Chains A and B, each alone.
Chain A
């Protein structure tokens, strides 16, 4: 899948996995910026955060890429201290859930540093979180905290859904973003192959939202792996029912391109929101808030929302499979928006999305 961007004319493409894009941008950051270092549990081991840092400790040395003890809050505070004196730290959490131990440093310190001191100090840094899903990750290895972090002014939160999104955002963030950035990566995406641009963009690409597929009948605003789910559903309803879905990848969660989002909803009058987390007090609520503030009448009917069930994540597969929205439900939500609940169109039979992703050999 190729994220279409107005800033980037169509170029040569290549196939690149999500993990490959991460490794490439981590490598480039170390090569291009001598003040950059990467620290986190396991960043220098043979698994290298699912392949996103493998070999970098050997290439750049143990003072640039290093393992840390179990010390999430301490590590984040250390990163802030280093950033305050001019380094660019990149920290990792192999599960987003473990960043909650660092909440104090991220929320009470990093997010406030610029404002609280009247703009005379800043701590630019990148905090990489990986969201787990499937194979019984359970309640403590599966949380997707975009709403949590985006709630705090001072934090920039992104959720790359493709290799291209990583190639576009990470170099910009590392080279010039003035404050702390929380990037929420998704474990299901790591092994997927994407089509990506073979050339580096000639000018900086701002952190923003994208139209991932154009359409006129209904707008789906999605995050992370749900962008792929929305695109699969869009293709299905186009083939089965000639429905044209516009899919928007919110991508820059804390600072989306609201004009783009609202413009699309105005055009289609129909809205589905597909997020990787809970709907309560989350991305879905924020998208609706933006609509309400402008003109609720742009919606022809109540919007539909897809997210995790309002419970901690169960381990049993039979529950996990219904805990997350399935392709079946995504298609149903889109069809019901456009044709009403009596649409009479066959739904895809797919019991478990994660099995589909395991079998999938791409590229998207």
Chain B
């Protein structure tokens, strides 16, 4: 494929994520979205680069911060907005909200809001793929903070032991809520993976969708050969941990740290391409918001359904 065309495709998806979240920011004061939101603005390139490298049937487990992965994996915008609005037309009929997005039709499996809790799910899915002789792989998406939880270590050990086709994908934004990585971790993620005999790589250029895509393809060639892989991608969270605001005024971090990311952010630099693609994406977003607006609220009959 023409590499320009590929860049445009990736760019368009990244821009969609950015514009969707900017729309969420605009909508938030109206209280149409009555649920906590963890924005991925600044981190779009990770979801976009990784998902573009996957086959459509490769499976992803993401986190409460997964608007980006939902869109990059190909989830429907209509169902996403309806879910955020708490409407019956949402992915999960309004029972999930922003923190538990999923899109089984594009094998984005349930997102969990308990940090690190879905990492072993990806290992389990990969184990099942291997047992059935399938060529599919599973991806566990998690933040840098999640690697501190015991279950991360248990999952790596088991995946290495069983030689399952799982990609451990760490979105390293350097923060867990307001806490910096160096205050929380005494290990280096790649060296740590190596102690399990797991191959790994870090991508520092977390704004570079094509580099992330290529790094993922390289990692997947190891994973498809039946060996787990840890891929760590440095990135920058522009907004507050949860909610739609900035958080530089609280003084725990400086805007300058994020400015270095912004200075390389293609969505901010390539104004020409943005101008070209934006009108159509805006129309899709407006249609999705309309769809949500017109979808009914789930009623009492939904309260006690789907439990078992």
List A residues at the B interface (Cβ < 8 Å): 41-42, 45-47, 67-74, 97-98, 100-101, 135-141, 309-312, 314-319, 322-323
Among B10-18, B47-55, B110-118, the one that faces the other chain is B110-118
The residue from B100, B116, B179 contacting A315, defined by CB atoms under 8 A apart = B100
In the complex, what distance in Å separates the CA atom of A309 from the CA atom of B304? 8
Number of A-B contacts (CB under 8 A): 117
Q: Shortest Cβ distance from A268 into chain B, in angstroms?
A: 31
Q: Is the CB of B271 closer than 8 A to any CB of chain A?
A: no
Q: Is the CB of B36 closer than 8 A to any CB of chain A?
A: yes
Q: Shortest Cβ distance from A44 into chain B, in angstroms?
A: 9
Residues B150 and A74 in contact, CB atoms below 8 Å apart:
yes
Q: Shortest Cβ distance from B108 into chain A, in angstroms?
A: 18
By secondary structure, the B interface counts as loop
Residues 90-105 of chain B, each 1 if its beta carbon lies under 8 Å from chain A, else 0: 1001111111100000
In the complex, what distance in Å separates the CA atom of A100 from the CA atom of B151? 13
Residues A315 and B299 in contact, CB atoms below 8 Å apart:
no
Most buried by A among B94, B98, B251: B94
Q: Is the CB of B145 closer than 8 A to any CB of chain A?
A: yes
Q: Shortest Cβ distance from A279 into chain B, in angstroms?
A: 13
Q: Is the CB of B256 closer than 8 A to any CB of chain A?
A: no
In the complex, what distance in Å separates the CA atom of A323 from the CA atom of B304? 9
In the complex, what distance in Å separates the CA atom of A344 from the CA atom of B55? 64
In the complex, what distance in Å separates the CA atom of A139 from the CA atom of B146? 20
Residues B86 and A45 in contact, CB atoms below 8 Å apart:
no
- A sample of 29 inter-chain contacts (CB < 8 A) reads A41-B176, A42-B177, A42-B179, A46-B251, A46-B252, A67-B183, A69-B185, A70-B146, A71-B150, A73-B150, A101-B114, A135-B34, A135-B35, A135-B36, A136-B34, A138-B99, A138-B113, A139-B95, A140-B99, A140-B113, A140-B114, A141-B99, A309-B304, A311-B303, A316-B86, A316-B93, A319-B298, A322-B300, A322-B303
Contacts of A68 in B (CB 8 A): 184
Residues of B51-80 at the interface with A, using a CB-CB cut-off of 8 Å, are none
Contacts of A316 in B (CB 8 A): 86-87, 90, 93-95, 97, 297-298
Q: Is the CB of B302 closer than 8 A to any CB of chain A?
A: yes
Q: 18 new A-B pairs (CB below 8 Å) besides A101-B114, A138-B96?
A: A42-B179, A45-B178, A46-B178, A46-B252, A69-B184, A70-B184, A101-B149, A136-B35, A136-B98, A138-B35, A138-B113, A140-B113, A311-B307, A315-B94, A316-B297, A317-B34, A317-B297, A319-B95
Q: Shortest Cβ distance from A153 into chain B, in angstroms?
A: 27
In the complex, what distance in Å separates the CA atom of A136 from the CA atom of B36? 6
Q: Shortest Cβ distance from A105 into chain B, in angstroms?
A: 11
Residues A318 and B86 in contact, CB atoms below 8 Å apart:
yes
Contacts of A141 in B (CB 8 A): 36, 99, 113
In the complex, what distance in Å separates the CA atom of A269 from the CA atom of B96? 42
**A-B interface, 4 closest residue pairs, ranked by CB to CB distance from nearest:** A136-B35, A316-B94, A316-B86, A315-B97
Residues A314 and B115 in contact, CB atoms below 8 Å apart:
no
Contacts of B116 in A (CB 8 A): 70
In the complex, what distance in Å separates the CA atom of A45 from the CA atom of B253? 11
In the complex, what distance in Å separates the CA atom of A339 from the CA atom of B302? 32
Residues A138 and B97 in contact, CB atoms below 8 Å apart:
yes
Which chain A residue lies CB-closest to B147?
A70
Instruction: Report the interface size for chain B: residues with CB under 8 A from the other chain.
Output: 42
Contacts of B90 in A (CB 8 A): 316
Residues B96 and A315 in contact, CB atoms below 8 Å apart:
yes
Q: Is the CB of B148 closer than 8 A to any CB of chain A?
A: yes
Contacts of B97 in A (CB 8 A): 136, 138, 315-316
In the complex, what distance in Å separates the CA atom of A317 from the CA atom of B184? 36
Residues A315 and B86 in contact, CB atoms below 8 Å apart:
yes
In the complex, what distance in Å separates the CA atom of A126 from the CA atom of B231? 39
Contacts of A72 in B (CB 8 A): 149
Which chain A residue lies CB-closest to B113?
A140
Q: Shortest Cβ distance from B138 into chain A, in angstroms?
A: 21
Contacts of B99 in A (CB 8 A): 136, 138, 140-141, 315
In the complex, what distance in Å separates the CA atom of A67 from the CA atom of B307? 37
Contacts of A317 in B (CB 8 A): 34, 86, 297
Which chain B residue lies CB-closest to A72?
B149
Most buried by A among B34, B90, B98: B34
Residues A312 and B307 in contact, CB atoms below 8 Å apart:
yes
Which chain A residue lies CB-closest to B186?
A69
Residues 120-147 of chain B, each 1 if its beta carbon lies under 8 Å from chain A, else 0: 0000000000000000000000000110
Contacts of A318 in B (CB 8 A): 86, 94, 297-299
Residues B95 and A46 in contact, CB atoms below 8 Å apart:
no
Contacts of A41 in B (CB 8 A): 176-177, 179
In the complex, what distance in Å separates the CA atom of A314 from the CA atom of B95? 4
Contacts of B250 in A (CB 8 A): 46
Which chain B residue lies CB-closest to A42?
B177
Residues A314 and B94 in contact, CB atoms below 8 Å apart:
yes
In the complex, what distance in Å separates the CA atom of A310 from the CA atom of B90? 22
Residues B114 and A97 in contact, CB atoms below 8 Å apart:
yes
Contacts of B36 in A (CB 8 A): 135-137, 141
The residue from A98, A139, A309 contacting B100, defined by CB atoms under 8 A apart = A139
In the complex, what distance in Å separates the CA atom of A46 from the CA atom of B248? 12
Contacts of B300 in A (CB 8 A): 322
In the complex, what distance in Å separates the CA atom of A72 from the CA atom of B117? 12
Residues B298 and A314 in contact, CB atoms below 8 Å apart:
yes
Contacts of A312 in B (CB 8 A): 307
The residue from A45, A74, A100, A309 contacting B179, defined by CB atoms under 8 A apart = A45
Q: Shortest Cβ distance from A73 into chain B, in angstroms?
A: 6
Q: Shortest Cβ distance from B259 into chain A, in angstroms?
A: 21
Contacts of A309 in B (CB 8 A): 303-304
In the complex, what distance in Å separates the CA atom of A100 from the CA atom of B95? 22
Q: Shortest Cβ distance from A329 into chain B, in angstroms?
A: 13
